[in-house]
Amino acid sequence: MASVVPLKEEKLLEVELGELPSWILMRDFTPSGIAGAFQRGYYRYYNEYVNVKRGSIARLSLVLAAYVVFNYRRSHKELKHERPRKYH
């Protein structure tokens, strides 16, 4: 159960299941910590999808497809009534 790397610096996918509660409690929940988490997430998106030397249309369409799916989930409740069913 003990891991080689200290618990605080492990990424989420490498934390073992028994250690998960203590991992969650140990994360930095101060405002600057949360801002840091957003920044890290944004730079992961940026470096993988935007900052590529010879980007292609496929990457951009992936981002736009994710946007479409996000909007579909958001408006699912109203769209449910438009299905061609006998009983809605």
Partner 1 sequence: MNENLFASFITPMMFGLPLVTLIVLFPSLLFPTSNRLVNNRLISLQQWMLQLVSKQMMSIHNTKGQTWALMLMSLILFIGSTNLLGLLPHSFTPTTQLSMNLGMAIPLWAGAVITGFRNKTKASLAHFLPQGTPTPLIPMLVIIETISLLIQPVALAVRLTANITAGHLLIHLIGGATLALMSINTTTALITFIILILLTVLEFAVAMIQAYVFTLLVSLYLHDNT
Binding site for partner 1 (CB under 8 A): 45-46, 50-55, 60, 63-64, 67-68, 71-72, 74-75, 78-79, 81-82, 84
Judge whether 45 and 60 are in contact, CB under 8 Å. Answer: no
**Sign of the torsion angle spanned by Cα atoms 62, 64, 69, 73:** positive
Nearer to partner 1, 27 or 59 (CB): 59
- Tell which residue, 5, 30, 36, has the closest CA to residue 19: 5
Spatial distance between the Cα atoms of 37 and 60, rounded to a whole number of angstroms: 24
Cα 44–Cα 48–Cα 52 angle in degrees, nearest 5: 135
Nearer to partner 1, 20 or 62 (CB): 62
Nearer to partner 1, 29 or 67 (CB): 67
User: Least separation, in Å, of the C-beta of 82 and partner 1?
Assistant: 6
User: Least separation, in Å, of the C-beta of 13 and partner 1?
Assistant: 25
User: Least separation, in Å, of the C-beta of 32 and partner 1?
Assistant: 21
